[in-house]
Amino acid sequence: MPCQSARKVFLDRINRFALLVAERCLETIKNYDPEDVSDTEETGSEGDLPVIIPCPSPITPISPISPIMSFLSDDDSDSSKDSTVLEDARYCRLLGAISALHDEVLKARILQRIPVPMMRASQLPLLKHFADFWPHLFRKKLRVNPEVFDCILDQISGHPIFLSCRNQPQLPVAIQLAIFLNHAGHYGNAISPEDVAQWAGVSVGSVVNCTHCIMVAVLDQHDLFLAVPDVNSEEVEMARQWVEDCSCLGWRNGIFVADGSTINLFEKPGIYGETFYDRKSRYSLNCQVCRRAAPQRVH
Amino acid sequence: MLHDLHIVDYGLGHPGSVHDAYAFQGTRMAKDPDQAIPEDHWIWADSAYPTQTWCVVPFKATGGGLSRTKNLYNKYLSKVSSIIV
């Protein structure tokens, strides 16, 4: 990341400068207090300084003060004392300013202007054509039939998360949904946010935002679509009828079916990786599904 | 994938090495069958799952083969329940 390395270079420079100032400061004390030369040389040795100075906390400018003041109180020359105090106050102010600058650089976030703007070519207009004439290509990209796409779109379009609170409007919900379905419906390193961004002609951050927004909207529909239906409802009766047709009258109340499936992971997780290794020799998560009996199959 | 797919319950959060029967205990239906499953109804499952009054599994072939009637039972059960690929 170029931003981080630039910050590091700045911080290194600031630290070096702070070290230089602190060394000068100690030099000054040494000159004004010749009796304690041996002591100051020890405190001013190379080993001690880097520990105190690069610390970004507010203690930095203060910490050199106390030993300086204690030295000064023993000084007998008034004029030299005054000038030393002045000098040290200046050094302390400088160190304080350096520390503030250090904090500022740590906090700063800079968007760098790239020399050549990224060229974008959205593939999204193709989806309309695919939906009309090549539904299998539509399915390949978004993993749902065009009708299902429209159905989901109708369900989530009214969600408040798609209302923009700023002047900048959001992408249309249909585009957000297409980005989400493409992102969520594929697997592995071929569908990183960068790949989706290139496919949709948007920025990487937009891909992440779209995925989040759609996920929020879809999860809000959870209770509407995931619930045990009423025993007397028409769909339960249809399920009973279907089971009876497949088997016999006595079995018609067995309307639920449970099974497990695995959601494969792209790679072995770094922590507790072996726990995810399943009987099919893949790294995966376990998913249990109970559903109403019906002639369709779940993929 | 299908627009009238109706999932009624699910259990997530277990890693892949966990056995289906154990992961199944995390679903609402297995935790509280009296509440979640309507009376006189039951779930079809495969032989990895526990036999309960509300959970019906096929016969397991332990040692020798199964009798003809048990095989027939298993065949019809798989017809009803094999839906998850």
Contact check, Cβ <8 Å, B15/A272? yes
Summarize the confidence of residues B76-80 as an average pLDDT: 85
Q: Does A229 reach chain B within 8 Å, measured CB to CB?
A: yes
| Domain ranges, residue A282 | 228-292
- Out of A207, A223, A239, a domain closes at A223
Matching residue, tokens 């017809």: B79
In this prediction, residue A43 has a pLDDT band, given cuts at 50, 70 and 90, of very low
Let me know if residue A42 belongs to a domain: yes
A68 and A19, same structural domain? yes
Gap between the Cα atoms of A91 and A68, Å rounded: 11
Residues B21-74: tens digit of each pLDDT: 899 988 888 888 888 888 888 888 888 898 988 888 888 888 778 888 988 998
**CA A142, A212, A126 angle in degrees (round to 5)?**
30
Gap between the Cα atoms of A195 and A178, Å rounded: 14
Q: Does A136 reach chain B within 8 Å, measured CB to CB?
A: no
Which of the given ranges, A27-36, A175-184, B21-30, B56-65, has the highest pLDDT on average? A175-184
Summarize the confidence of residues A44-71 as an average pLDDT: 43
Let me know if residue A275 belongs to a domain: yes
A209 and A241, same structural domain? no
Tell me: pLDDT of B14 over 60. Answer: yes
Instruction: Please state whether the predicted TM-score (pTM) of the whole model is above 0.80.
Output: no
Q: Which two tokens stand for residue A284?
A: 């995966």
pLDDT of residue A180: 95
- Out of A61, A80, A107, a domain closes at A107
DSSP one-letter string for A174-233: HHHHHHHHHHHT--SGGG-HHHHHHHHTS-HHHHHHHHHHHHHHHHTTHHHHSSPPPTTS
A154 and A92, same structural domain? no
Instruction: Give the A:B interface size as CB pairs under 8 Å.
Output: 166
Using DSSP, state whether B41 is helix, strand or coil. Answer: coil
Residues A101-140: tens digit of each pLDDT: 999 888 888 777 888 888 889 999 999 999 999 999 999 9
Closest residue to B7, CB basis, from A151, A289, A297: A289
Let me know if residue A113 belongs to a domain: no
- Quick one: closest CA in A to B21, which residue? A260
Distance of alpha carbon A173 from the chain centroid: 23
A148 and A80, same structural domain? no
Let me know if residue A30 belongs to a domain: yes
- Quick one: closest CA in B to A291, which residue? B7
ipTM: 0.85
Summarize the confidence of residues A37-49 as an average pLDDT: 42
Contact check, Cβ <8 Å, A291/B41? no
Residues A58-107: tens digit of each pLDDT: 444 444 444 444 444 444 445 556 777 777 788 888 889 999 999 988 88
Q: Which two tokens stand for residue A58?
A: 């507010």
Q: Which two tokens stand for residue A212?
A: 């989040």
Let me know if residue A94 belongs to a domain: yes
- Tell me the shortest Cα–Cα distance from B72 to chain A, in angstroms: 11
Contact check, Cβ <8 Å, A228/B36? yes
- Tell me the shortest Cα–Cα distance from A177 to chain B, in angstroms: 16
Residues A274-293: tens digit of each pLDDT: 899 988 899 999 988 888 87
- Tell me the shortest Cα–Cα distance from B33 to chain A, in angstroms: 11
Nearest by Cα to B73 from B63, B55, B60 = B60
A103 and A6, same structural domain? yes
- Out of A206, A223, A240, a domain closes at A223
- Tell me the shortest Cα–Cα distance from B5 to chain A, in angstroms: 8
Tell me: pLDDT of A4 over 90. Answer: no
A135 and A101, same structural domain? no
Q: How many domains does chain A have?
A: 3
Which among A256, A278, A298, A299 is the top mutation candidate for probing chain B, defined by the most B β-carbons within 10 Å of its own β-carbon?
A256
Contact check, Cβ <8 Å, B36/A147? no
Summarize the confidence of residues A191-218 as an average pLDDT: 92
Surface-to-core class of residue A68, CB atoms within 10 Å of its CB (0-12 exposed, 13-18 middle, 19+ buried): buried
Distances from the Cα of A89 to the Cαs of A47, A93, A136, A155, A292, in angstroms? 25, 6, 76, 68, 80
Using DSSP, state whether B8 is helix, strand or coil. Answer: strand
Q: Does B69 reach chain A within 8 Å, measured CB to CB?
A: no
Let me know if residue A92 belongs to a domain: yes
Let me know if residue A280 belongs to a domain: yes
In this prediction, residue A34 has a pLDDT band, given cuts at 50, 70 and 90, of low
pLDDT of residue A66: 45
A26 and A96, same structural domain? yes
Q: Does B66 reach chain A within 8 Å, measured CB to CB?
A: no
Cβ neighbours of B18 in A, within 8 Å: 286
- Tell me the shortest Cα–Cα distance from B30 to chain A, in angstroms: 10
Let me know if residue A117 belongs to a domain: no
